[in-house]
Structure 1
């Protein structure tokens, strides 16, 4: 039996230093890399000009995971989101696999970008050979480590600058080259058949994988419910358009024999369109692309071990933040050392495919997580964006991503299986023995097998996440809700019977006689009905004393009969306050008006499974706060 719960509170928070442009830069910078500057020449040899269609299809394959991540991250904007979302929806075993997979995928793709930067050192010092490349890669890694250590804001500013340069050069290339393309180069559009074209889609798709890197720094984003989905969507649309347009222009500029197998296809196209200055400009863009991938990759990769450490799945030290800079320095150091080790001692090429399979595994987890979160019907799961075409889009994506993993080859499948096995062993040895947590999946199973089940701990965590996401500072009304009496009445009754129960609940709290309170409620109701709409009443009375104000939340699904002419009341907000609290009394009435106007309030009120969920429904409602 586990003796410790997942630590869902008292965490060291990371500073919110990223805005909409920062999210866009991290997502787009992580996407534009070798997938544009190297891959077109390789896939052209297989599919010819039809790679234009292949790039478009690959972008469409991104849509399911994009919208799934957008929904999950607006509901749970936590760092290390790939681990966090899977762990909270599917449980800590799946979360452990997802956490290690995400860390491995991001770290290895960051390693590849570092080696790309190191290759520049090979050009400067050709006599150094492989040693110069590795030395340049390690030096690049240390530089980006220092930038990320100093602060997310500094890393974000650098990312913004690099992305602006990169997109500017690519736009200039596309606009400068489109007028010089030769139409005959598109004539033999599918030289090796449509099957060959479709086979290249999987290779191209992994180039889009960086799109979702921004979710791993979600906790450091200001106004995440707006900036995360908008930034990710903008990155997807702009980068997809750039990919397709740049490939279209390149195919039209470069002769097929020169383009097939070229490792610098965009540079070749720029040379033919603009000459030597074009090749230099694209070389600068390629360097910038590797730099944005390296910087954003290190930033995102370090958040996975930090998130796992927070929950106790890894040693707690990995969650520590630097006293001066406020960044997760231990997780950054660990990730940097891992990347340097791979640079110095391992073959990068094979590990890139392995990283791609890990990324696809994470995408599968994301889509399953969304289905589980939706089906669990947890009340406090409140995304501000909802994925369209649910659940069919997610189901199709799970099948397609699984097929792409199977096409990776025996070696990659073996490495993938090995990492999953390691993660499972780690869970059994390190995690299961001392950590327990009830996920949305367990909550869903309980709903299926029994009609009565307790409150899920995830409800409390999601409530806190929603308050943090919306930057809510609890006001006096919130404190009143947290401490008020909740009456969940199971049978139908008259208004008099309900007032008797309410008076009994309030008597001790405001030091008044139960009968006296009961008579005050009856008197108020005789003066004019406190039923404000069908099914809703707001009984409110003035009591003697000073600084007295109490509230009772009442739910009665069978209904309280206030009047024979109106439907029974199922929800009541009961207020009792002294004369000196009249101003707050009016504010409370205004707050209640906002709360009951929430979309689906009536159905959520009826479905809440316990008293705390009724409180949560009131606390998380959108309303002005003072």
Structure 2
């Protein structure tokens, strides 16, 4: 049993036992669930059903890989980028099965951070949470960068105006300050401040628009598909396919976004697993379909350097600007929904970490009227907005991928551990063939991480080093796990 700690400020008493004991202390599943929804000064509200949860995951996922990163992945893999999407999707599938089981068993806001806290101990949970900050927070900035590319397409095609490079590109890419990227993050912040229910409604509308836009692209671009463009299908070999797959895994990170809404779902045990699996199925199907049409309509060598590749394909196939303008309009809405939902996930993870004492209390303060963690939302949005305005897209996408893969690997381990330590727990969804499938998910994540560049690994190592300094200097001393816990 444990004794409740008062929610005051200041360092917590040291945990009884040595350093190793403190680092391995776990938060009981029952306590995680009992504390669910409660923050400083208010509570999150259970207002979302399965459809809204599915839309959150689709909203956080669909758009990034196709609208933004496709132009970077095709030069690595050639027409075999279709296989890269499949590989990334299969890697995501094994991890999605693990997420579905844990989301139904531990339906709280912290996602994989909370799952690791219940199974692998506080230090591993902190590392996982720190990876999620990289995954969610940085991906908001990365996607926002791509949003500006399509905004320029839309403006030039409708009113003949283009935002100058100085104000639409970050330093190092020919610009001074990426104003559109900052703008879309601020717009997402405004929606989130209104509350989860209102944000979910806006997201559902935007997701519908993005699906229609992608289907429109397929219908129009199919007219320009040439069989010759599929010849020399794998010009860079399997190494190129794997490298592109690792980069494209960035475009699958959103499927776990529903798990961050565990404390705002009306029936989380039933709906979270369904939402995670359904969203991954829809997204993977659309990604492969659009990629197949895109590389069939445009020689793969011409994708290099294009961050708005789909709009350019439509313009070339039809010879008319109207289709490209319509797609650009859909992309502007689509990518805005990714920013909205991923920003939402980041705030909920920080909410959970703050409630546990590992992050400052300001991140778990809930506004009594809207039920939203307002200060949390503003701080995260400002950080992501400035990051989006100052850092080029490619560096951000790869840094996000490695943080995502690391967190997913831990989730696969957590499923195996919880099956062994708590076999009696009720599970609304069970990963098939466990522990085989979670083990495969873990191995695939490690394999994908190995395909990333040394520079990305160096950035990740630096990020982890900073995280450990923060944990030992702040989080470990202020953890709210009771010192008498057994």
Shorter-normalised TM range: 0.7 to 0.9
Equivalence for 1:278: 323
- 2:121 — aligned with what? 91
Comparing 101-110 with 416-425, greater Cα deviation is found at: 416-425
Distance 1:120 1:192 in 2: 29
Q: Which residue of 2 aligns with 1:402?
A: 446
Q: Which residue of 1 aligns with 2:345?
A: 300
Residues 591-614 of structure 1, C-alpha deviations (whole Å, 9 max, x = no match): xxxxxxxxxxxxxxxxxxxxxxxx
Q: C-alpha distance in 2, partners of 1:40/1:351?
A: 15
- The verdict on how the C-alpha distance between 1:306 and 1:280 changes in structure 2, with shifts beyond 3 A counting, is same
Q: Displacement, 1:281?
A: 1.9
Larger Rg: 1
What's the CA shift for 1:261? 5.1
Structure-2 separation of matches of 1:78 and 1:135 = 35
Q: Distance in 1 between matches of 2:101 and 2:327?
A: 36
Residues 2 and 434, structure 1, Cα contact 8 Å, conserved in 2: no
Q: Which residue of 1 aligns with 2:65?
A: 35
User: How has the CA–CA distance of structure 1 residues 86 and 117 changed in structure 2, closer, same or farther, with 3 Å as cutoff?
Assistant: same
C-alpha displacement of 1:431: 3.2
In 2 relative to 1, CA 114–188 (structure 1 residues): closer, same or farther, beyond 3 Å?
closer
> Does residue 1:319 correspond to 2:344, yes or no?
no
Q: Secondary structure at the match of 2:249?
A: helix
**2:213 equivalent among 169, 173, 178:** 169
Q: CA deviation at 1:343?
A: 3.2
Match of 2:414 among 360, 369, 373: 369
* Aligned positions, number: 440
Partner SS, residue 386 of structure 1 = coil
Gaps of 5+ in 1: 439-453, 458-626
Closer, same or farther: CA 254–130 of 1 in aligned 2, 3 Å = same
Counterpart of 1:242 (choices 278, 286, 289) is 286
Whether the aligned pair in 1 keeps the contact of 2:247 and 2:398 (CA below 8 Å) is: no
Matched residue of 2:368: which SS? coil
1:142, CA displacement in angstroms?
Answer: 1.9
Are 2:250 and 2:398, in contact at CA under 8 Å, matched by a contact in 1? no
After the TM superposition, list the runs of 4 or more consecutive aligned residues in structure 1 that deviate by more than 6 angstroms: 3-7
Give SS of 1:216's match: helix
Which of residues 104, 112, 130 is equivalent to 1:82? 112
Structure 1 length-normalised TM: 0.65
Once the two structures are superposed, what CA deviation does each residue of 1:566-617 show, in whole Å capped at 9, x if it has no partner? xxxxxxxxxxxxxxxxxxxxxxxxxxxxxxxxxxxxxxxxxxxxxxxxxxxx
Q: Greater shift after overlay, 333-342 or 127-136?
A: 127-136
2:379 aligns with: 334
Aligned match of 2:311:
267
The correspondence for 2:130, drawn from 66, 86, 100, is: 100
SS in 2 for 1:433: helix
Counterpart CA distance in 1 for 2:53 and 2:393 is 28
State the structure with bigger RCO (CA 8 A, min sep 6), 1 or 2: 2
2:99 touches 2:256 (CA, 8 Å); kept in 1?
A: yes
CA RMSD, Structure 1 to Structure 2 (Å): 2.6
Q: What is the TM-score normalised by the length of structure 2?
A: 0.83
Q: Matched residue of 1:302: which SS?
A: helix
- Tell me which protein shows more strand as a share of its residues: 1
Determine the C-alpha separation between the residues in 2 that align with 1:341 and 1:191: 38
> Where do residues 426-445 of structure 1 align in structure 2 (5 Å cutoff)?
426-435=470-479, 437=481
Deviations 1:438-459 (A, max 9, x none): 9xxxxxxxxxxxxxxx9x87xx
User: Are residues 160 and 355 of structure 1, via their aligned partners in 2, closer, same or farther at CA, if it must alter by over 3 Å?
Assistant: same
